[in-house]
A and B are shown apart, each in its own frame.
Chain A
Amino acid sequence: MPDYTAYFCGQWVPFSQVRIDPLDRGFLVGDCVFDVARTFHGKSFRMREHVDRLYRSLRYVRIDPGLSPDELERISEEVITRNEVLREEVGDYQIWQFVTRGRGRWAHKAGPPAVGVCVRQIGFSRFADLYATGAHGVIVRTRSFSPDALDPKVKNFSRMNFNMAELEASDVDPEGWPILTDSRGNLTEGVGYNLFLVTRGTIRTPGDRGVLQGVSRAMIFDLGRELGIPVVEEDLQPYDLYTADEAFFTSTSPCVLPVTRVDRRPVGAGTPGPIVARLLGAWSEIVGVDIVAQARHYAPLEQLESPRGS
């Protein structure tokens, strides 16, 4: 089976060689930052925003990757180009970028960082059906990290709370996608996706205190302007979600996912709403890919085939 080509610690290697030294603090302490971009028909989407966010994460955690943002962006584009021949059968790619602290008994003496950039197939099968049915949200009891301890704006590998949240969500609803709150009871985000709701024609989302600065989240503000739909940031509570007309998640791979149930109750009419449809339509037009049709097309192929890069 051919293997994807990846960038790892200064070299181009088969993806199967991108494996982590368990004594790297990236694993031992979860001391690693990352970002994930995607392509549309093989073309990267807002790559520079992902790279810039990665470098903000790096700055926060005091890791110097030994590469400039320009260099990392070039490498990320080259990863896509080098794997273009294998893209057709999976549709599009995720591009993973990560930087670890490196190996060492003590944080301040650890290094050098391990830098990896690789492609992975999108994983359409996780969400392709949900454009029609809607995802089920569950407000879980595990709280978002406090920015006083470890800021959720940092995209890092210290997120066991996300997996605790996943397990709690599936206890409530086997198809549940977790929705987190902060310690004051305000809605924050999901586990790798941002949360939006629609109330009387206005798109509302938690402010960026204590949530990931999603690239797709920013896209909703742009699309709102283009479509003439107001988008506001404000403190939101579970009440606002239970009483919303529509709700949706944003994330790099699915872009926009309608949420039709929360805590086993219907959101609005309990079916994907018109504003989600308009957002997906406008987004598809901009990237030149029918986002929903592509996911439906490739999801079954993904399941049939033993995937590479995983």
Chain B
Amino acid sequence: MSAESLVVYLNGEYVPRNQARISIFDVGFLRGDAVFDTTSAWNGRIFKLPAHLERLELSLRAARIRCPLPPKALADVIVETTRRCGLRNAYIQTIVTRGEPPFGVRDLTQCRPGLMVFAIPYAWILGPEQMKTGGRAMIVSTRAMPVQCLDPKIKSLSRQHFDLATLQGKSAGADVAIMLDLDGRVTEGPGFNVFVVKGGAMYSPPEGILMGITRQTVFELAAEHGLPVHEAQLTAYDLYAADEVFLTSTAGGIMPLAEIDGRAIGDGQPGPVFRKVHDLYWALRESDRDGTPVFPA
């Protein structure tokens, strides 16, 4: 799929990706004042689209931004954009910016919100090799955004610290970065949630994170299959001392870690709980359940 054939939905129109442009004075750009959500399609079905739309709606409400389209019409645009891109396995991003206020006006309620949807080929945070052997993570010094500054539950475009964390990890040879909060509690990484396995049970931080849909799916699968899972505050120690650590994301599903900060996790191999959850997740993705079809049957 060449980049040229991809289209972007931009404020009511489908435009070739290379022609999509936005004003530099849109506050979505100037201040990262926009919210988004990311869904993915696998085998031509978009996973848990209603759950993603609901989370987007909550981000919008928290940010006091109005979506230009009602939920049903937005769902149609997401499906249509993916269809026009011809992608069966896709990573689909929906962005609502606050827009641009009239010149000289400080009142942000006078902004006209903008809507953009684009689809690109599905991508994994960990590459194929790391999916087999387990990835290497670094707990970086860049801290998660404190909830009192900008709550990470709002999926906003103000996330330069995520790129800085990733670059910090990469420059030290790690595949991914994990961030602590100001009190040293484990939060999440750029675009993924974290699970620790200890004594057969799974644990995931409860607060100061994006409430990941894949994370939620792990909780649901665990309940269905009798796997113990809990929300728990975790420190770096808990990661180092874990039997297994895995990551969850719309960009890659369930992904194993083998090493954190130079310490092997468990026996340094992706573990049995990871494998179980991974297989359950992908069985779900391959099934008809929770999937919105992109292409007509």
Q: Which residues of A contact B (CB under 8 A)?
A: 18-23, 25-32, 61-62, 96, 98, 101, 105-108, 116, 118, 121, 123-126, 141-146, 148-150, 154, 156-164, 166-167, 170, 183, 302-303, 307, 310
Q: What residue in chain A is nearest B18 (Cβ atoms)?
A: A21
Q: Tell me which of A31, A118, A170, A183 contacts B107 (CB under 8 A).
A: A170
A117 to chain B, nearest CB (A): 11
Across the interface, do B156 and A160 meet the contact criterion of CB distance under 8 Å?
yes
Question: Which A residues are in CB contact (< 8 Å) with B166?
Answer: 106-108
Q: Are B150 and A164 interface neighbours, CB within 8 A?
A: yes
B21 adjacent to chain A (CB < 8 Å): yes
Specify the chain A residue showing the minimal Cβ separation from B165.
Answer: A107
- B2 at the A interface (CB under 8 A): no
Please encode chain B, from 138 to 150, with 1 for each CB lying within 8 Å of some chain A CB and 0 for all others. Answer: 0001111110111
- A157 / chain B contacts, CB cutoff of 8 Å: 29-32, 158, 160
Contact A163 B108 (CB under 8 A): yes
A-binding segment of B115-123, B237-245, B271-279: B115-123
| B31, B95, B109, most chain A CB atoms within 10 A | B31
Instruction: Please tell me if B170 contacts chain A, counting CB pairs below 8 Å.
Output: yes
A163 touches B8 (CB 8 A): no
- In the complex, the answer to whether B104 meets A30 with C-beta atoms within 8 Å is no
Contact yes or no, B104 A123, CB < 8 A: yes
Known: A20-B24, A163-B31, A303-B104. A148 touches B182 (CB 8 A): yes
Complex CA gap A148/B17 in Å reads: 36
- Contact across chains for A146 and B162 when beta carbons are under 8 A apart: no
How distant is the Cα of A70 from the Cα of B166 in the complex, in angstroms? Answer: 30
Interface string of B50-66 (1 = CB under 8 A from A): 00000000000001100
In the assembled complex, the Cα of A20 lies from the Cα of B32 at a distance in Å of 13
Asked whether any CB of chain A lies closer than 8 Å to the CB of B280, the reply is no
Q: Is B22 in contact with A23, judged by CB distance below 8 angstroms?
A: no
Q: A144–B34 Cα gap in the complex (Å)?
A: 18
Interface string of B194-238 (1 = CB under 8 A from A): 000000000000000000000000000000000000000000000
With A125-B104, A142-B149, A148-B182 as known contacts, state yes or no: A25 contacts B24, CB within 8 Å.
no
In the complex with contacts A159-B158, A164-B63, A18-B167 CB distance below 8 A? no
CB of B5, distance to nearest CB on chain A (Å): 15
Q: Can you list 29 A-B contacts with CB-CB less than 8 angstroms, sorted by A residue number?
A: A18-B24, A20-B21, A20-B22, A22-B116, A22-B118, A28-B93, A29-B157, A29-B159, A30-B32, A30-B157, A30-B160, A31-B160, A32-B160, A62-B167, A96-B24, A124-B104, A142-B148, A145-B145, A146-B149, A148-B143, A157-B160, A159-B33, A160-B31, A160-B63, A166-B108, A170-B109, A302-B104, A303-B104, A310-B103
Indicate with 1 or 0, residue by residue over B86-119, a CB within 8 angstroms of chain A CB atoms.
0000000101001010011111110000001010
Given A20-B22, A144-B149, does the pair A27, B159 have CB atoms closer than 8 Å? no
Interface check B10, CB cutoff 8 A: yes
The docked-state distance in angstroms from the alpha carbon of A144 to that of B108 is: 19
Cβ–Cβ < 8 Å partners of A28 in chain B = 93, 95, 157
Which residues of chain A have C-beta atoms less than 8 A from B109's C-beta?
167, 170
